[in-house]
């Protein structure tokens, strides 16, 4: 399995397991879910705008989005400060790995050059029409 599969599975587990507000999710699971959603949000926004960006800028955007997604998950699913910080660090790394796995061979990120990864196309009804930015 690749990074998209692992992080997609983590996202599903974090979103679908109940109850909320219990500190039962590991920082790895939170990071996986956050990095998957960060990649989804990044893809949707960049494709909507049609901008070509260099890889470093794309990764900085992903890191910021991933950090925000970690904060949201930690607030709703329960996590202490240490787990939150670990999850932010790992989510950034995972998002960068997913980006590299799909776009690393290109000169830069160009939404017109390559389709998004198949798992990002229309995830749980969250498509380009529902951009959170």
Lookup: tokens for 69: 């997604």
List the chain pLDDT tens, one digit each, 133 residues.
455 556 666 656 666 665 444 445 677 788 888 888 888 888 888 889 988 989 899 999 999 999 999 998 888 877 788 888 989 999 999 999 988 888 888 888 888 887 777 766 555 444 444 433 3
What confidence score (pLDDT) does residue 1 get?
47
3-state class (DSSP) for residue 93: helix
Q: Is 94 exposed, middle or buried (0-12, 13-18, 19+ CB in 10 A)?
A: buried
User: What local confidence, expressed as pLDDT, does residue 68 receive?
Assistant: 93
Q: Where are the domains of the chain?
A: 3-121
Between CA 119 and CA 11 the distance in angstroms is 12
Instruction: Answer whether 0.75 is exceeded by the pTM.
Output: no
Q: Residue 89 has what pLDDT?
A: 92
Q: Note the pLDDT of residue 66.
A: 93
At 51 the pLDDT is 86
Torsion (CA) 89, 34, 7, 109 in degrees, nearest 10? -80
pLDDT at 9: 66
């Amino acid at each position: 399995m690749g990074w998209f599969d692992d992080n997609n599975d983590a996202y599903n587990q974090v979103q679908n397991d109940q109850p909320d507000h219990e500190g039962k999710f590991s920082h790895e699971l939170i990071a996986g879910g956050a990095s998957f959603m960060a990649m989804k949000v990044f893809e949707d926004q960049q494709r909507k705008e049609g901008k070509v960006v260099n890889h470093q800028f794309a990764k900085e955007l992903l890191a910021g989005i991933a950090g925000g997604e970690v904060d949201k998950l930690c607030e709703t699913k329960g996590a202490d400060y240490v787990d939150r910080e670990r999850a932010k660090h790992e989510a950034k790394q995972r998002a960068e790995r997913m980006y590299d796995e799909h776009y690393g061979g290109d000169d830069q990120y160009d939404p017109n050059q390559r389709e998004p990864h198949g798992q990002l196309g229309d995830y749980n009804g969250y498509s380009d029409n529902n951009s959170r930015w």
